[in-house]
Amino acid sequence: MTARTRLVKELKELSRSPSDDISLQPDESNIHKWKAIIKGPDGTPYQGGIFRLEIRVPDQYPLVPPAVQYHTKIFHPNVHFKTGEICLDILKNAWSPAWTLQSTCQAIVALMSDAAPDSPLNCDAGNLLRAGDVRGYNSLARMYTAEHALPK
Amino acid sequence: MDASDNDDFSNDVQSDDDLGYYTESEEGKQDQGVSEAIWYVIDANEISAVQEKALQDVMGIMGCSRSIARTLLMHFRWSTETLFGVLAERDKDELYKLASVTSRSTEIPSCSGSQAEVACGCCFCDVPREETSDMGCGHVFCNDCWSQHCKVQIKDGRSRKLPCMGVKCGAACDEETVRQLISDDQEILARFDRSLLESYVEDNAMVRWCPSVPHCGRAIRVEGEVHCEPECSCGLRFCFACGEEAHSPCTCEMWKQWKEKCHDDSETKNWMTANTKPCPKCGKPVEKNGGCNLVMCTCRQAFCWLCGAATGTSHTWTEISGHSCGRYKDEADRRIDEAQRNVKRYMHYYTRWEAHMKSSKAEAETRTSTQEKIAALEDNTSLLKDYSWLSQAQEQLFHARRVLGYSYVYAFYMFGNAMFREEITPDQNAINQNLFEDQQQQLEAEVERLSGLVEMGPERIGKVEDQLRLQVINSTININKRLVNLYELIENDLLGSLQFSVGYIAPYGGKSTLRPDRATPTLTTPALPASKAQDEDLVDLTGLPSSEPALGRFQGREGLRSGDAAKRPRRSGSLD
């Protein structure tokens, strides 16, 4: 089984049952490069935002996880503010081949509404939440969402 | 040599044998007081046998598969005692969960029922059921995916506790199933097996690879006390606790700091503080090369050497015009003094440490020449003669040199002001230092003496053999005794009296401890480390044609321990 066959299967599955919140598309020339667009979940400071993700699928996929990065700037404890790198266990050692690109994106959406401030990549965001300053965190995250992620 | 000497000699041979210094029969004799560290050498080809035994133990008692036994043991760092201890307190399922083992007895999650075809959750293909596997946790994937998964994991170095592919499962895969799945790739299979095998050493708190370079392939297993210095069959002696070269009597912590200190340039920095001043303009360190206190940096900035402040350039021998800094003396000077003193102190200990380490290397080289000497001597005479005393002396000398060297490292930290400042008052420290240095000096003197004795050429040895033999034997024994005393002083009185910090040193092991050939993996009681002469009282050799009667008697350990430091004679009793 190669990554390609599995990705083709995933693509078919996607066209059969598309999701409202997540749109996933491979690069036209390279099936190992994907782009995803996810919606900021309601009830979070990211609400209304449209976030672009870049996904690189290694040759050994699905035995090893894909590399996913935010392309849109986001203020979130587990996302690197500059590079968009994501700190999420299933993208590292808790990966299982049973995850798909779509379920991975779902997990990232879930991360947006449920941050883990104790393992922060963005220390400013993490510290605000750890100090209990939810209001400060919300307003900053909202500001960056408005600045970078709102559809123009 | 006159007749009376000969008489003494024959008597002494007798008492010498009583010492048991050479006799193998004495080896099992236990010495009291020093805590025993027992260790075995495990040869490369024995590791699997030793591991197998531990596995069999667990399999027998738990009634589980080899794979589960291995996973359990890895979790408990191959300590069957801990494993069974936990088993006694909790039930089996909890134990399994703790070690991320899933046994087949736990219910299998429903996985597409009993259809003939199963959808593999990895490649998303429908595959016949007989081409799928699960690892005991019920997560079914096709064999193809399993095989690739296992290979990826093994290549990434996760052969041990190879994780299941199921989402958030984390159970360890069954090793037999894994073996079947990867059986087509011999290289990966070998890697997998080797990793499992090496787990016995690497995941085991009581076993360590011999740190020899290049690696001799052996491992050392220790029972009880981990602070010991086993000697591998390849001849390397190392500290089991930290894996570094044998460094007693200094503690692992001291040794670590010393190594760092010798490698980094902290002393260079100290020297710079003591001897240079930064230029107030460019900040480069400037050394004063004579002349008056007006110093000129290479950047052409003039400054006052006394206070370091920038000045103009016009000056006389006694003052710089328009500049005065008479109040500088106190603080800055003290800082410089301190730095200079620290460098001196360090250099004192460093040079001695280094000298002994170099001598120890030299002793190691003369070992071979000693063997040649012995061969030459044995060829010379038609009589059957035993020259083992000479090689014994050489061994002892080599060991004592090292100990002496490390004792300087120990002294540097023990009596310096940093490591135990909170616990030892300056007065107590001075007493301790006296006590220690007394012993150290005695040992040092004896080592030098023996060193001189064994360096004689074979012709000369042949001539004065009888006399020399006794001197050498006595000196060897004396060194051993003094080593024991030094270790005891450190262990009991110096480190032992500490309340808060802990310092452990490997107990003195005499020369070589366990014979490697006894280090069978079977759990027979091994011969105890034989510091053979350790507790024997020394024979009274008065009347010996030796130049130094002090050899004969030695202050007992009681005398040393209870004796007040100040009152203690500087030399052993019989000299006074």
Set of chain B residues whose Cβ sits within 8 Å of the Cβ of A6: 122-124
Q: What is the DSSP string of A59-89?
A: TTTTSSPPEEEESS----TTB-TTT-BB--G
- Give the model's pLDDT for residue B464: 73
Q: Is B47 on the interface with A (CB under 8 A)?
A: no
Nearest Cα residue in chain B from A4: B123
Q: What residues of chain A have any CB closer than 8 angstroms to a CB in chain B?
A: 1, 5-6, 9-10, 13, 60, 62-64, 94, 96-99
Amino acid B458: pLDDT: 63
Query: For the purposes of burial, counting CB atoms within 10 Å of the CB of B370, is it exposed (0-12), middle (13-18) or buried (19 or more)?
Result: buried
CA B166 to chain centre: 44
Amino acid identity, position B38:
I
Token pair, residue B451, equals 């060193």
Among chain B residues, CA nearest to A100: B122
B273, HSE (Cβ side, Cα atoms, 13 Å):
18
Interface probe with A: pick from B122, B142, B169, most Cβ of A within 10 Å: B122
Find the catalytic residue in B169, B242, B262, B292. B292
Would you say residue A66 has pLDDT above 90? yes
Q: Do A64 and B152 touch (CB under 8 A)?
A: yes
Residue of B nearest to A60 (CA): B152
Cβ atoms of residues B46 and B221 within 8 Å: no
Helix, strand, coil abundance in chain A, percent, nearest 5:
35, 15, 45
Q: Are residues B88 and B196 in contact, defined by beta-carbon separation less than 8 angstroms?
A: no
From chain B, pick out residues whose CB is under 8 angstroms from the CB of A107. none
- Dist. CA B162–CA B439, nearest whole Å: 55
Quote the pTM value. Answer: 0.65
Catalytic status, residue B292: yes
Compare all CA atoms of chain B with the CA of A103 and give the residue at the minimum distance.
B167
CA–centroid distance for B520 within its chain: 23
- CA B311 – CA B314 distance, rounded (Å): 9
Q: What is the phi/psi pair of residue A68, to 5°?
A: -120, 135
A98 → closest Cβ in B121, B144, B170: B121
Among residues A31, A37, A87, A140, the one annotated as catalytic is: A87
- Measured CA to CA, the distance from residue B338 to residue B269 in angstroms comes to 13
Contact (CB<8Å) B123/A6: yes
Q: Is CATH 3.10.110.10 what the domain over A3-149 is classified as, yes or no? A: yes
State the Cα–Cα distance between residues B200 and B218, nearest whole angstrom: 12
Which residues are within 8 A (CB) of B207 and not within 5 positions of it... i.e. 6 or more apart?
B42, B78, B200, B201, B219, B220, B221, B222
Burial class (CB within 10 angstroms; exposed 0-12, middle 13-18, buried 19+) of B248: buried
Token pair 């000056």 in the structure block, residue:
B315
Q: CA B519 → CA B229, B230, B522, distances in Å?
A: 15, 12, 8
Residue type, A41: P
Give the CB-side neighbour count of residue B236, counting CA atoms within 13 A: 20
Tokens at residue B129, please? 């059921």
**What whole-number distance in Å separates Cα of residue B388 and Cα of residue B510?**
16
Q: What angle do CA B295, B297, B302 make, to 5 degrees?
A: 50
Question: Which of B359, B358, B398, B387 lies closest to B235, judged by CA?
Answer: B398
Interface of B with A in 420-439 (CB under 8 A): none
pLDDT of residue B369: 78
Sorting pLDDT into bands at 50, 70 and 90, what band is A56? very high
- Is B155 in CB contact (< 8 Å) with chain A? no
Which SS3 state, helix, strand or coil, does residue B92 take? helix
Lookup: tokens for B89: 């307190």
**What's the angle, vertex CA B348, arms to CA B343 and CA B350, rounded to 5?**
90
A-chain residues near B167 (CB < 8 A): 96, 98-99
Integer Cα distance of A111 and B319 in angstroms: 72
Q: What are A38's strand-pairing partners?
A: A22, A51
pLDDT, residue B417, reads 66
B165/A97 Cβ within 8 A: yes
Which residue among A6, A94, A97 sits closest to B168, beta carbon to beta carbon?
A: A94
Closest CA of chain A from B168, distance in Å: 7
Supply the DSSP symbol for B184: T
CA distance B231 to chain A (A): 40
In angstroms, rounded to a whole number, what is the distance separating the alpha carbons of residues B485 and B406? Answer: 15
CB-side exposure of B176: number of CA atoms within 13 Å?
A: 6
Quick count: other Cβ atoms within 10 Å of Cβ A103? 15
In one letter, which amino acid is B415?
F
Handedness of CA B296, B298, B299, B305 (dihedral sign): negative
Angle (nearest 5°) at CA A58 between A53 and A62: 95
CB contact under 8 A, B122 and A98: yes
Quick one: tokens of B368? 């071979």
Q: What is the pLDDT of residue B257?
A: 85
A–B: how many Cβ contacts below 8 A? 43
In sequence order, the β-bridge partners of residue B276 are B287
**Contact: B141, A97; criterion CB under 8 Å:** yes
Q: Which helix (H) or strand (E) holds A38?
A: strand A33-39
- In angstroms, the CA A114 to CA A99 distance is 19
B168 in contact with A at a CB cutoff of 8 Å? Answer: yes
B369 vs B367: CA distance, rounded Å = 5
B481 to B33, B476, B477, B508: CA distances (angstroms): 14, 9, 6, 11
Give the pLDDT of chain B (576 residues) as one tens digit per residue.
Answer: 344 444 444 443 333 333 333 333 333 333 333 445 688 888 888 888 989 999 999 999 888 888 888 888 988 888 888 888 888 888 888 888 888 787 554 444 444 455 678 888 888 888 888 888 888 788 889 998 899 999 988 988 888 888 888 888 878 888 889 999 999 999 999 999 999 988 898 888 889 999 988 888 889 988 878 888 888 888 888 999 888 888 888 888 888 888 887 776 666 767 777 778 878 777 777 887 766 677 778 777 788 777 777 777 766 656 666 676 665 556 666 777 777 788 888 888 888 888 888 888 888 787 777 777 777 777 766 666 677 888 888 888 888 888 899 999 888 888 876 777 777 888 888 888 888 999 899 999 998 888 888 877 666 776 777 788 888 888 889 998 998 888 888 888 888 777 666 677 777 764 333 333 333 333 333 333 333 333 333 333 333 333 333 333 333 333 333 333 333 333 333 333
Q: Degrees (nearest 5) of the Cα angle B479, B481, B486?
A: 90
Distance (Å, whole) CA B268 – CA B565: 37
CA B516 remoteness from chain centre:
18
Q: Which amino acid is at B460?
A: R
> What are the structural domain ranges in chain A?
3-149
- Judged on CB neighbours under 10 Å (0-12, 13-18, 19+), B490 is buried
Residues of chain A contacting B168 with CB distance shorter than 8 Å? 94, 96
How many of the other CB atoms lie within 10 Å of CB of B500?
A: 7
> A61: distance to nearest CA of chain B, Å?
10
End-to-end CA distance of chain A: 42
Cα A24 to Cα A17: distance, rounded to the nearest angstrom: 12
Min Cα distance B135 → chain A (Å) is 14
Residue spans per domain, chain B: 354-512+527-569
Residue B449 CB partners (closer than 8 Å, separation 6+): B475, B548
Report the gap between the CA of A94 and the closest CA in chain B (Å): 7
Which B positions 119-148 lie with beta carbon below 8 A of chain A? Answer: 121-125, 141, 144-145, 148
List Cβ neighbours of A78 (8 Å cut-off, separation of 6 or more).
A86, A87, A88, A111, A115, A116, A119, A120, A121, A122
Give the span between the Cα atoms of B459 and A69, in whole angstroms: 81
The DSSP bridge partners found for residue B516 are none
DSSP secondary structure code for residue B359 in this structure: H
